[in-house]
Amino acid sequence: MATRKNLLNLLPALLAGALLFSPTARAADYPTKPIEVIVPFAGGSASDVVTRIMLNTMAKSLGQNFVVENKPGAGGNIGTAMATRAAPDGYTLLMSTSGPLAANRTLFKNLGYDPQKELEPISLFATLPNVIVINSKLPPKNLKEFIAYAKEHPGINYGSVGVGSSQHLAGVYFEQLTGVKLTHVPYRNIANYTPDFLAGQVPLGFQFLPNVLGMLKNGDARPLAVTTPKRMTALPDVPTAEEAGLPGYQTYGWLALLAPAGTPKPIVDRLYKALAEAVKDPDVRAHFIQQGAEPAAGGPQQLKDFIASETVKWRGIIEKAGIPKM
């Protein structure tokens, strides 16, 4: 049996061992291996491309690579749920968006996770404005003219990549603010939507810029407004909806970095610092703009508050529209 003296002699070593395996000690050395980032959407999507641009620069700052795992399905819910079940050690992170973190809480009967309780916010890092576009063969030249035209021609088709997507909800919100009646046409992907837009069968869209950039350049699509508080850097001549005569209409996708709940604060702070530096990088900002994204930041508390406000906003819009739960 160990004597009191022996125990006292062992105490410093035991304390040192406890410190070695404590969250604070692990955070001080973090990261010591590659970091997995779950992206709950398909590879090559706008959110996937923008995320990879940022992670490549964060990797230089942290001294470790990021490994992106695309886990699409159920409007982003599958990948987001996977992240909530990962170990809270900073080596599995999540890039998620307005759907899985806010709107889907009203759209789905059972998410399979609670974003408020099971995820640790790190920071917003980009917004993806919607661009209101019409087929250039339609007569309206600006947003006010289009609203008047849509009231005279109820049921104009607009396309999205699915029920509950950013493009769909942008159309729903547009109807509520303007009083026009539109017809939503969901597609499996943007490649299927484009031919119908060009043919004039679905002549309206609330799309991310990369989805319509080619059509804008070719003159096949006419931009009426962007849906953010400020004009897009990539489309400086296109007014905001507010400027174009539709006050209060703000709807856009956004991208955020999160970790499983319980991730030590020093690790969250380390990741936020690297993210904030990356978003300020001129090359990152330039590449974001090329993808139709606007750089953003803010930190853990700001992201937490933002997700809460977006959840309330979209709950009201979805319930008012009577969109059935999936």
pLDDT at 1 over 70: no
pLDDT at 4 over 80: no
Give the closest residue to 167 by CA, choosing from 202, 219, 137, 121.
202
Residue 235 DSSP symbol: -
Cα–Cα distance measured from residue 229 to residue 248, given in angstroms and rounded to the nearest whole number: 9
How does pLDDT run across 183-213, given as a tens digit for each residue? 999 998 888 899 999 999 999 999 988 889 8
On whether the CB atoms of residues 65 and 56 are closer than 8 A, the answer is: no
On whether the CB atoms of residues 232 and 207 are closer than 8 A, the answer is: no
Determine what percent of the chain is predicted with pLDDT higher than 70.
Answer: 92
Q: Is 68 helix (H, G, I), strand (E, B) or coil?
A: strand
pTM, two decimals, is 0.85
State which H helix or E strand residue 120 sits in: strand 119-135
- The domains of the chain are located at 35-128+252-321, 129-226
What integer pLDDT is reported at residue 224 of this predicted model? 98
Cα–Cα distances in angstroms (integers) from residue 142 to residues 138, 220, 222, in the given order:
11, 15, 9
What integer pLDDT is reported at residue 54 of this predicted model? 96
Calculate mean pLDDT across residues 153-170. 92
Cα–Cα distance measured from residue 115 to residue 121, given in angstroms and rounded to the nearest whole number: 9
Q: Is 155 helix (H, G, I), strand (E, B) or coil?
A: coil
What integer pLDDT is reported at residue 11 of this predicted model? 58
CATH superfamily entry for domain 35-128+252-321:
Bordetella uptake gene, domain 1 (3.40.190.150)
Axis-axis angle for helices 265-280, 282-290 (nearest 10): 70
Q: Are strands 252-260 and 92-97 parallel, antiparallel or unpaired?
A: antiparallel
Q: How confident is the model at residue 170 (pLDDT cuts 50, 70, 90)?
A: very high
How far is C-alpha 109 from the geometric centre of its chain's CA atoms? 21
What integer pLDDT is reported at residue 16 of this predicted model? 55
Domain at 129-226: CATH architecture:
3-Layer(aba) Sandwich (3.40)
Give the closest residue to 40 by CA, choosing from 85, 88, 99, 86.
99
Compute how many other C-beta atoms are within 10 angstroms of the C-beta atom of residue 34: 12
On whether the CB atoms of residues 170 and 138 are closer than 8 A, the answer is: no
Cα–Cα distances in angstroms (integers) from residue 34 to residues 59, 66, 183, in the given order:
9, 6, 46
Comparison of pLDDT for 8 and 138, the residue scoring more: 138
Name the average pLDDT for the chain.
91
